[in-house]
Structures are given as C-alpha cells and as structure tokens.
C-alpha cells in the first residue's frame, strides 16, 4: 500500500469526476482507482479516496473516524462560518454530525418510525401520492420521468409523513439541494456560494415556522408533535437538535430518492427483457431497486469521514482532520467482495449492499426510500406497459450526483 501511495501523485490528477464522461459512466475510472490506488490522496478534492469494499466498510465501522465535518482540517475555511453561521450551528446538532452517545440518544427518538413495519404502514399514502402525480401528468404524449414524476414524489412523501402543508414543499427542494451541495463545500463554484447560503437561510426559517406552528397546533400520533414534546421535556432533545433533526429528515427525504426513481426507470428501459420479467412478476422490483443502487449508483463520489487523531489505515499514515471520501459506488463493484460485480442481477442477495451506508449513521430512511421506489416505479410500469425511451437520458451538472436532468419517454396507452 505504501508503495502504491508513492506512485499516487500522478494518478491523483487523472481522476476527473466532473467530466461528462464520468457522469454517464463512472465505473471505468473507479475500477482504475481500485486496481491501482485503493487509498489515494486526491489533491484537487483535498481528501483521501477509498475505493475498495473491505476498506470502506472497515472505515464506516471505525470509531477513530467521525462524520462531524467540524473535524475537517479545512473546516474553518468554509465561508459558512462568517456568512451563514446558522447553518454551521445546525450542522453541529444534526443526526448526521452527532457522534457516539448524543447520536444514539437523538436517533432513538425517530428510529421506531422508520422500521420496515412502521414504513409499510405508509404504503397507502405513498400510493395515493404516486397516483396523483401520475394523473396530473397523463395528458401529454411525451412524459419526462425526471421532471414530471421522480422530482415530485419524495418531497411529498416526507411532507405527508411530517404533516407539512403542500405549500411548503416546493421550498424543500431548494433547501435540500443547497444543503447537499454543502457536503463537499470545496466543489461549490465561488459564484454560486451566496445563492447557496440564501437557500439555506430560507430553509432554516421555514423549519422554524413549521415547528412553531405545530407547537401551537399539536396533532395526535404525529412524529413532529412527539419530537416537539420530547424537546419540551428537555432531557432527550434540545431546541437546536430538534431543528437539525427536522431539517435532516427533510433533506434526506426529499433529494436522494428522486434520483433512485429516475435511475430505476432508466435501467429498466435500457433492459427490455428485464422489463418484461418485471411486468410479469412485480415482486422482482425489490431486487431491481437494490441492484440499481449497487450497479448504477447515482452518487458521483461517496460519503465522508474525518480522522479524529493521527492514525494509519493499512499502513498508510492519515493525519488528524483529514477527510476520507468513501466511494460507495466503487465498493459495490469490487470483485473481491461481490460475485460477478459487473453483471446486473436483480436476484442477488442484497445483504452486502452499502448503498445506504453502514454502522452508526446507516441511512435512517432506507426502508422509506425502498417503499417509494417500489411503489413509484411499480405503478408507472404497471400503468404504462408499452412505455418507451424517447431519445437519450440527459445528465445535468451537479457536484455530487449524476443528476438526470431529463428522461423523456413515450408513455403509450394506459392500462
């Protein structure tokens, strides 16, 4: 490994995740990383890139590394400290950043609402949202799966789960997108930073309003009401944590699943034989969903961890405060961990998937995302069995996501 690292400087410059070629298909570049430099310091990103499955999982389970971005060596250089301190404060208290005991305490307040069984109870509500989104779109001949469908569903599902009026939901998108861009702030173009902060400020103000309103008008059996009551009791959740938790649910709930839905439809349309199988056996959609996340992950890079102390990983010294970017997409194509990784096989066992992370910060909403993907794409395929791709999928620029700007289809006659 040490030897590989000494060759790494040259290769570091070869990694170009912002090229359009990489967006369409990042896998050849990721394979080169796994083969030649599985632990590489990437100068441009000012972080380590970790591309093999075993090392990614090991780091996700390693208490020497934290999710808290305040631990990053360059954290104080983020203009958010001076220009958007309310965002810095909110991050500090979010589920995503909290470490150890505080994380466990806050997560336990919401996790019972996200178990497979609890999530399953939302199925009729999710189905109703999907049906409604589809019914408003049905008039046209061509249909944009990205804009007219995928984009509209997750935001409404998390909104419904938290009992937030539809009028707020448009703003969620804006806020969630801005927060997600802040996961790797060094990639935000300087000219866009002020707009990014403006969207975040507006989102934080909106969450404050939503909480104040629910405090005055509690709802029986409602998640948000129960969190507000926990905060009022004072010992399990403080005010800043409440704000940050609601924000985390909104951001987690309204962004990622959009891309999952788009990528599922794209992968099915590109595989007519599989599409036929799914129509005959709708249960297969579960495996398709898992396999889309594994085989054609919508993430460009991955998730981050920061070294809490000077340490080493497989003999390579890592300095306190350095950022590790764990390339989940690459890890799930690693032949040393996954059998025939380059074959799209919806019947494979999915327990080794790390698309939703692993360890303490494992995605809280994984079961909700799965439910949404199955219902949304399942309904679309069942209602429009003759749906066809129209032209090419169009990918837009995004620092972190292989974002489908448009995915045009001809729906054909409804069933």
Partner 1 sequence: MRLVVDWDRCEANGVCVKAAPEVFRLDEAEDRLNVLMEEVPSELQEKVERAVRVCPRQALSTREK
Which chain residues interact with ligand HEM by CB under 6 A? 67, 95-96, 107, 158, 248-249, 252-253, 256-257, 260, 303, 355-357, 361, 363-365, 368-369
Q: Which residues contact 169 (CB under 8 A, 6 or more apart)?
A: 155, 156, 159, 254
Calculate the alpha carbon distances from 309 to 47, 99, 302, 317, 336 in Å.
Answer: 15, 15, 22, 11, 29
The four Cα atoms 182, 185, 189, 193 give a dihedral, to 10 degrees, of 60
Give the DSSP H or E segment for 326. strand 323-326
Tokens 């995302």 sit on residue: 369
Of 267 and 411, nearer to ligand HEM (C-beta) is 267
Residues numbered 33-62 forming contacts with partner 1, rule: CB under 8 A: 61
Residue 287 makes contact with partner 1 by CB under 8 A: no
Start-to-end C-alpha separation, the chain: 57
Q: Which is nearer to partner 1, 168 or 356 (CB)?
A: 356
Which residue from 387, 398, 392 is spatially nearest to 142, judged by alpha carbons? 387
Nearer to ligand HEM, 93 or 411 (CB): 93
CB 379 within 8 A of CB 130: yes
Q: Smallest distance, Å, CB 313 to partner 1? A: 18
Q: What are phi and psi of 20, to 5 degrees?
A: -70, -25
Residue partners of 354: CB distance under 8 A and separation at least 6:
53, 56, 57, 60, 328, 331, 332
For residue 249, the minimal CB distance to ligand HEM (Å) is 5
* Shortest Å, Cβ 350 to ligand HEM: 13
The residue sitting closest to ligand HEM, measured at its beta carbon, is: 365
Q: Does 362 bind partner 1 (CB under 8 A)?
A: yes
Could you tell me the smallest distance in angstroms from the CB atom of residue 329 to partner 1?
Answer: 18
Question: How many C-beta neighbours within 10 Å does residue 232 have?
Answer: 11
What, of ligand HEM, partner 1, none, does residue 118 touch, CB below 5 to 8 Å by kind?
Answer: partner 1
96 makes contact, choosing from partner 1, ligand HEM, none, with CB < 5 to 8 Å by partner type, with ligand HEM
Q: Which of 168, 352, 382, 405 binds partner 1 (CB under 8 A)?
A: 352
- Radius of gyration for the alpha carbons in the chain, expressed in angstroms and rounded: 21
59 or 155: whose CB is closer to partner 1? 59
User: Residue 336, interface with partner 1 (CB under 8 A)?
Assistant: no
Quote the least distance from Cβ 326 to partner 1, whole Å. Answer: 15
- Is 356 a binding residue for partner 1 by CB under 8 A? The answer is yes
Residue 18 contact partner, candidates partner 1, ligand HEM, none, CB within 5 to 8 A by sort of partner: none
Task: Output the CA angle 281-283-286, nearest 5 degrees.
Answer: 130
Interacting residue with partner 1 among 45, 163, 287, 359 (CB under 8 A): 359
Q: Compute the least distance from the CB of residue 65 to partner 1, in Å.
A: 13
Q: How far is Cα 173 from Cα 176, in angstroms, rounded to an integer?
A: 5
CB neighbours of residue 119 within 10 Å: 20
CB of 345 to partner 1, least distance (A): 17
CB 249 within 8 A of CB 158: yes
Q: Could you say which of partner 1, ligand HEM, none residue 181 binds, taking C-beta under 5 to 8 angstroms by partner kind?
A: none
Instruction: Compute the least distance from the CB of residue 124 to ligand HEM, in Å.
Output: 18
Distance of closest approach, residue 364 Cβ to partner 1, in angstroms: 8
Q: In what order do the strands lie in the sheet with 408-410?
A: 142-144, 408-410, 388-389
Of 4 and 58, CB closest to partner 1: 58
DSSP letters along 200-253, please?
HHHHHHHHHHHHHHHHHS--TT-HHHHHHHHHHH-SS--HHHHHHHHHHHHHHH
Site for partner 1 in 82-121 (CB under 8 A): 104, 108, 111-112, 114-118
Span of 218-226, 278-286, 347-355, 403-411 interacting with partner 1 by CB under 8 A: 347-355
Residues that bind partner 1 (CB under 8 A): 61, 104, 108, 111-112, 114-118, 349, 351-352, 356-360, 362, 366-367
């Amino acid at each position: 490994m040490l030897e590989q690292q000494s060759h790494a400087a040259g290769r570091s410059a070869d990694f170009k995740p912002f090229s359009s070629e990489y967006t369409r298909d990042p896998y050849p570049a990721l394979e080169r990383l796994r083969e030649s430099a599985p632990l590489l310091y990437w100068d441009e990103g000012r972080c380590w890139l970790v591309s093999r499955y075993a090392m990614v999982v090991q780091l996700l389970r390693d208490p020497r590394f934290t999710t808290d971005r305040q631990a990053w060596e360059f954290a104080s250089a983020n203009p958010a400290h001076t220009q958007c301190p309310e965002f810095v404060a909110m991050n500090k208290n979010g589920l995503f950043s909290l470490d150890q005991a505080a994380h466990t305490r806050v997560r336990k307040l919401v996790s019972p609402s996200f178990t497979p069984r609890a999530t399953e109870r939302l199925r009729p509500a999710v189905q109703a949202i999907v049906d409604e989104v589809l019914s408003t779109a049905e008039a046209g001949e061509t249909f944009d799966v990205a804009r007219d469908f995928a984009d509209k569903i997750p935001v409404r599902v998390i909104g419904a789960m938290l009992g937030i009026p539809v009028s707020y939901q448009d703003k969620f998108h804006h806020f969630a997108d801005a927060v997600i861009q802040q996961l790797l702030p060094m990639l935000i173009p300087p000219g866009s930073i002020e707009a990014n902060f403006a969207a975040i400020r507006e989102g934080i103000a909106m969450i404050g309003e939503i909480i104040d309103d629910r405090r005055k008008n509690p709802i029986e059996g409602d998640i948000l009401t129960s969190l507000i009551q926990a905060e009022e009791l004072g010992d399990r959740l403080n005010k800043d944590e409440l704000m940050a938790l609601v924000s985390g649910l909104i951001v987690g709930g309204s962004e990622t699943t959009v891309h999952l839905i788009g990528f599922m439809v794209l992968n099915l349309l590109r595989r007519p034989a599989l599409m036929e199988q799914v129509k005959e056996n709708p249960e297969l959609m579960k495996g398709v969903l898992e396999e889309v996340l594994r085989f054609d992950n919508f993430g460009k890079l991955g998730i981050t961890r920061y070294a809490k102390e000077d340490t080493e990983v497989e003999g390579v010294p890592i300095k306190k405060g350095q950022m590790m970017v764990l390339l989940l997409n690459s890890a799930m194509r690693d032949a040393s961990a996954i059998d025939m990784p380059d074959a799209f096989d919806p019947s494979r066992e999915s327990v080794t998937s790390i698309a939703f992370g692993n360890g303490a910060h494992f995605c809280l909403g994984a079961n909700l995302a799965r439910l949404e993907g199955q219902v949304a794409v399942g309904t679309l395929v069942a209602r429009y069995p003759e749906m066809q791709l129209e032209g090419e999928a169009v990918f837009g620029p995004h620092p972190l996501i292989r974002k489908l700007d448009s995915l045009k289809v001809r729906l054909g006659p409804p069933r």
